Amino acid sequence: MRVLSKIIAKLRNNLKSANLFPTMTTVTFRPESRTCPQCAKRMKVLNTKTKPVATLAIGQFLAREYHYYCPRCGFVAGSEELGELVPQRCNVGYDVLVHVGEAFFLGSRDNRQIVDELREKNVQVCRSEISPTWHYYTRECGSKPKPFYR
C-alpha cells in the first residue's frame, strides 16, 4: 500500500501545471479575428515574434505571436489571448507579477525566498528581476511600496 501511495503521489505531482512543459515548448498565439475591426478588410500576416514567457498557470514556454495588418487602413493586431496572459514587453505573466507583489508586501518574503518559490512552480527568474517586478506590481495595482532595504 505504501508503494502504491508513493506511485499515486508521483503521478499527482506530474500532473501539476508547473510540470506541463518541463522543457521550453513553443505555443503559438494569433489574433482572434482575421478581419480588420476598422474597415472589415481581410488582414495579412505582418510578422511573428517569439519571446520566452513564464506564467504560474503553465510554467515556462516560448510564445510565438502572429501580428496581422490591414492592407487598406494599416491597422495592426496582436494576440488578445497573449495580451491577457503577459504584459507587453514583459516576460512574466500577470499571475507571476501578482504573486511576487503579494509575496513581497503581504508575505514579507525577500527576493531569494520569492525566487525559490517561483522555481518550485517552474518559473525561473533571477533575483535581480524581482525588484523591477514588484515595482511593476505597485505601479499596476496601486499598492504602497515599502522601503527597499532588506
**What's the CA gap between 6 and 26, in Å, rounded?**
32
Give the three-state DSSP class for 73: coil
Nearer to Zn ion, 44 or 72 (CB): 72
Q: Is 24 in the site for Zn ion (CB under 5 A)?
A: no
Quickly tell me which residue has 506530474 as its cell: 14
Site string for Zn ion, 89-128 (x = CB under 5 A): ----------------------------------------
Site string for Zn ion, 47-86 (x = CB under 5 A): -----------------------x-xx-x-----------
Strand partners, 62: 26, 52
Cell of 54: 513564464
**What's the CA gap between 84 and 29, in Å, rounded?**
11
- Residues in touch with Zn ion (CB under 5 A): 36, 38-39, 41, 70, 72-73, 75
